[in-house]
Structure formats: structure tokens, C-alpha cells
Amino acid sequence: MTYNLLKGKTGIIFGALNDRSIAWKIAAKAHEEGAKLVLTNTPVALRLGTLEKLAEDTGSQIIPADATKSEDVENVILKSMDILGGKVDFILHSIGMSPNVRKGFTYDNLRYDNFLKTLDISALSFHKILLFARKHDAINKWGSVVAISYVAAQRTLYGYNDMGDAKALLESIARSFGYMYGRDKKIRVNTISQSPTMTTAGSGVKGIGSLLDFTERMSPLGNATADDCANYCVTLFSDLTRKVTMQNLYHDGGFSSMGMSLKAMTQYDKSFNNCD
């Protein structure tokens, strides 16, 4: 079902790698809702992933960019305005990577050069996008900027490593920049805290299968999928949420408010027979 929520709107999507990516689903949904898009990812991701297919399906152009490089981010902002015919209405940051997680350095033994890269890729890139968007006045009044976060910003989840710190910083940037962008330009900045999701980045999280099982048992509505996230995200890009800003918005089936559920307890206490 479509609602034309983004009819006449334009946006930039950072972070679609393949058809499992959260950004891919958001781009596809935004297109379905009437938006025109520019897509961007790193040159390596463009080689290894399938972004061309998404570009074809949505009639979008691709601009290669490493979001840790200021000049690349500035280029995306400027070229997108050229391609889309002026200021945009929304931007999605759906970027995350930890070299410590990739290389198996645990949190109590991590490499600081890797740690800095984790923060640079997964959080400072969001600041850069906001900075250059603002510098070039690239977003229309009442526009919306969204980044994808995770509950590890608030809670400790085994194996999530320095990505938890990166997500805490990401959410803080949304608040700090959200204040300035809201005050001066009436532009919203929020993060969506998404359930664990089986994507390329998600599969890198230690014990993702067990984590998905745990959060499914703990969440009264069940885990939110990438498609669910796309549905939620287009409402945040739309005019229906104009006064929502500087928020970290949980989109996790209720997980973040739970302490213990019957379904989870049943896993541990064999005296329970009924687990509805």
C-alpha cells in the first residue's frame, strides 16, 4: 500500500550495499512513496555490492563517496542538488563499520587506530553530512535527516564492541546538530534505533543468530525487519512528523522497554509449559 507520502520530495541515501541493506529497503520505499533519490556508497561497496540494480529500479543516479572524507561528502551534497534540481527534503545515514569487530579485537583489547576508524565511519560521517548540508543550505525548510542506530548506545550487548560507543556518539550528534539545524532552518535530525537485522553488517555482529532469537522472545511485537524500518523511516521523511527532532526513536517491537518476557523466561525455566 502506498500513500504518496513523499510525492514531489527529493533525498540522498547513504549506505545501500545490497538488497538486504536497511538503506536499500528505505530507498525502495521512499521511491514507492513518490521521492526522487540520489544513492551513494564507497567505491569498494559499489564494486562488491549491487547498488546499480537499486539505481535502475528507482531511476536514481549514484555518486561514489567515502563518507569519512570531507571532500567526498561535500561533492555528494553539491552534485545531488545539481541532479535533483535544488535543495533536497531528506537525507539518510545508514553507515556503520568497526575494524575491531571485523578483525576480532575484543573491547578490552581493541586497537585504538581501529577504534578511531569505527568512530570516523559510523558517527563522524553523520556530522560531516550535516555540516556540508548546512554549509551549502542543501535541505529545504522542514526537511528531515535520519541516521540508523542501535540500542547498544544505551545498553551493553555482548560482542557489539566499540560500535556501542559509535552509536552513542551518533545519537549525541543528532541531538547537538538537531538543535542548531532546528533553531536556524527548521530541519529535523533524528536517529532510529532498529532491531537486530540480518544484513551484511548485521551478520558481522557476534552471535547474531542468538541475538535475533533473544530479541524476538523479548519483544512483544517481535523484531522489526528492514522493511518495517523502511515504513517507519518514510514517515520521518514525510510532512506528518514535522515537530519530531533530536530524538532517538526506538523501532524494535518494544524490546528496549522490556526487562524479562514470558517467552524469554521459558527458555531458562523449564517449569513453564505455556509460552504465549
Contact residues for ligand NAD, defined by CB under 6 A: 15-17, 21-23, 41-42, 45, 66-68, 94-97, 121, 148-150, 194, 196-197, 199-202
Residues belonging to the chain: 276
Is 150 catalytic? The answer is: yes
CB of 14 to ligand NAD, least distance (A): 6
Q: How far apart are CA 184 and CA 180, in angstroms?
A: 6
Is 160 catalytic? The answer is: yes
Cell 536556524 maps to which residue?
184
- First CA to last CA across the chain, in angstroms? 30
Residue type, 60: S
Which H or E run includes 15? none
Query: Taking Cα atoms as reference points, which of 27, 85, 29 lies closest to residue 54?
Result: 27
Catalytic residue among 160, 179, 232, 250: 160
Q: Residue 19 or residue 32: which is nearer to ligand NAD going by CB?
A: 19
Q: Residue 66 or residue 186: which is nearer to ligand NAD going by CB?
A: 66
Q: How far apart are CA 122 and CA 68, in angstroms?
A: 9
Q: Residue 84 or residue 224: which is nearer to ligand NAD going by CB?
A: 224
Catalytic residue among 112, 150, 179, 250: 150
Q: Residue 105 or residue 142: which is nearer to ligand NAD going by CB?
A: 105
For 23, 126, 174, the CA distances from 18, given in Å and listed in that order, are 9, 21, 26
CB of 96 to ligand NAD, least distance (A): 3
CA 244, chain centre distance (Å): 17
CB of 274 to ligand NAD, least distance (A): 30
Q: Cite the active site residues.
A: 150, 160
